[in-house]
Structure 1
Amino acid sequence: MSKTLSFAGVHFTVAFLVGYLMTGSIWVGGALALVEPACNTVAFHLHEKVWKRIEQRRAAAAAANGDGHLAT
């Protein structure tokens, strides 16, 4: 959990700095630090769901092949 919190801190800091350095506005940097990680979290969740589905299909194909290897 420490590593996750540490990464979240880094993510928020980078998002803030990018927004601030590009605009010179603390408000834009702060808004970006809040919005971008939240959007990225949703995108990551959807990405993981897609990959889980892909892995399930690959496992089913390997099982259907009967030898544990994917048919090519």
Structure 2
Amino acid sequence: MLLLARKTSQVGLHMSVAFAVTYAFTGSLATGGVAAILEPICNVVLLPLHDRLWDKLRPRPRAQAA
């Protein structure tokens, strides 16, 4: 239950920051709202791809010769 609360809080924070920054630059509630919705969706799609790329770049331990 604590993990769910933490993740929900993180999503809310991301949405709030996206809204606030976009609203500050544009002065538009609609544009801020769109950014607040799109930002978490983009994170859900892109972060696993980002993590896979870094996993591929991580050096692998070499097998020791007998």
Please say whether Structure 1 and Structure 2 have the same fold, judged by a TM-score greater than 0.5: yes
Structure 1 residue runs of 4 or more that deviate by more than 2 Å after TM superposition: 51-55
Aligned residue pairs total 62
The normalised TM-score by structure 2 is: 0.77
Q: Which has the higher helix share?
A: 1
For the pair shown, the structure with the greater C-alpha radius of gyration is: 1
Q: RMSD in angstroms over aligned alpha carbons?
A: 1.7
Unaligned runs of 5+ in 2: none
TM-score (norm 1): 0.72
Q: Indicate the residue corresponding to 1:63 in structure 2.
A: 62
Gap runs ≥5 in structure 1: 68-72
Where relative contact order (Cα < 8 A, 6+ residues apart) is larger, the structure is 2
Task: Give the CA deviation at 1:47.
Answer: 0.7
Report the identity percentage: 37
Query: The residue matched to 1:4 in structure 2 has which SS?
Result: helix
